[in-house]
Amino acid sequence: MNIGDRIRELRIKKGFSQEDLAIRSDFSKSYIQKFEEGQREIRSSQLVQLSRGLGTSIVDILNGTDYRSEEFTLRNIEFREGFKINFDRKFFERKILGELHEKYNSYCKLEKLADSIIIFQNPLKNFEEITSKKHVEEAAKILRKKWKFETTPIYDLVIFLEDLGVKIFEVTEDESFAGFSCWEKNSPIIVINIKNTDIPRRRFTLLHELAHLLLKFRKGEEYEKIERFCDHFAGAMLLPYEALVEYIGDKSSITLEELKRIKSRYGISIFAILIRMVSLEFIEWEKYQEWKELYYSWKDKDIAYEDTERVSRFNYLLAKGLNEKLFSKSMASQLSGMTISALSRESFTTEFTLK
């Protein structure tokens, strides 16, 4: 079924005429007619309007259709290692696409209204193709230097990336699904699953997806190899080589307390620390397996990483716009999907007087 037929089907089920739907979705009747007959491409922003007019979700409109739009194209949707496909993959893609359509368009509209558009700059755009772990280490080192981290820990990773222009969206899916990344025109997008409450894993996923966005790989490179490179990049960004040397040096052993200290400072899981050590050849693979087994006996003595890594820029722009009267409360309600009273309850309209 094409998307025009699906819109007609939903309209008839709702008991709407083409004119009714035109009024409800702020289109002319001729637009609705052309949409249904496939004579006009439906852009992502128009898809949002149609979903509101039909009183249904974008997912419901996309379900069973072959919708394609050059305006908004998800690329690099990859189901990461450990993701169990217990349902129709196409349905899952449509579901995520539907959620992103609305969130992305609201985000872009809010940025324009708040005059806060950020153009993302990729510091690695001229970096060579990645063919080895050495290349990955070099890329991570360059990026850390460009972003002025050098060898220090990266705190509040989500906020930092949002302020650079990376659009990060949250979904709640099966815990085995970590996330994915894509480009929309020149905007990098990362989707993370907040059902995963392990914050170091969430941070690792963010940087793994960032690698997919920033690094160049050889055409036809094996998927598994690219994934290993992206994992290596995430580890190098979280825990740079020089920092690991400071903790390990020429030592022949390391205690759980030392590993916990590295985890607490750099926001990287103990497993990821061990993998980093074997990748950089501080230890042999056999020793890693031995330490991994030992970790299971330590696990109940592990510590949680004290951070949240939650998306916040959208809410910041919403509050900024309301405070500076850049748009109305009804517009804020439309963009956020929250009622006006809910916006007040969530403190979006609370002001602290400076003068």
Would you say residue 269 lies in a domain?
yes
Residues 139 and 263 in one domain: yes
Q: Are residues 164 and 193 in the same domain?
A: yes
Domain count, the chain: 3
If DSSP codes are grouped into helix, strand and coil, which group holds residue 171?
A: strand
Position 20 scores a pLDDT of: 92
- pTM attached to this predicted model: 0.81
Whole-angstrom Cα distance, residue 314 to residue 241? 34
Say yes or no: 270 and 324 in one domain.
Answer: no
Domain that holds residue 340: 313-345
Using DSSP's 3-state secondary structure scheme, residue 185 falls into coil
Q: What is the pLDDT of residue 91?
A: 65
Residue-level pLDDT at 135: 95
Alpha-carbon torsion angle 131, 132, 138, 142, nearest 10: 40
CATH number at residue 63: 1.10.260.40
Quick one: pLDDT at residue 71? 57
- Looking at the structure, tell me whether residues 215 and 254 fall in a common domain: yes
pLDDT for position 77: 53
Q: Which long-range contacts (CB under 8 A, 24 or more apart) does 158-161 make?
A: 158/206, 158/309, 158/310, 158/311, 158/312, 159/312, 159/313, 161/190, 161/206, 161/210
Same domain, 236 and 275: yes
Specify the pLDDT at position 81. Answer: 47
Please give the pLDDT value at position 146: 95
Q: Please report whether residue 168 resides in a domain.
A: yes
Is residue 180 assigned to a domain?
A: yes
Asked whether residue 351 is assigned to any structural domain, the reply reads no
* Residue 115: inside a domain: no
Tell whether 158 and 47 lie within a shared domain. Answer: no
Residues 139 and 33 in one domain: no
Mean pLDDT in order along the chain per 10 residues (355 residues):
87 91 92 90 81 83 69 53 52 71 85 94 94 96 95 95 95 80 85 89 94 94 92 97 88 84 93 91 87 80 83 93 91 86 79 64
Sign of CA dihedral 18, 332, 168, 82: negative
172 and 297 part of one domain = yes
Phi-psi region of 40 (alpha: psi -120 to 50; beta: other; left: phi over 0): beta
Same domain, 51 and 143: no
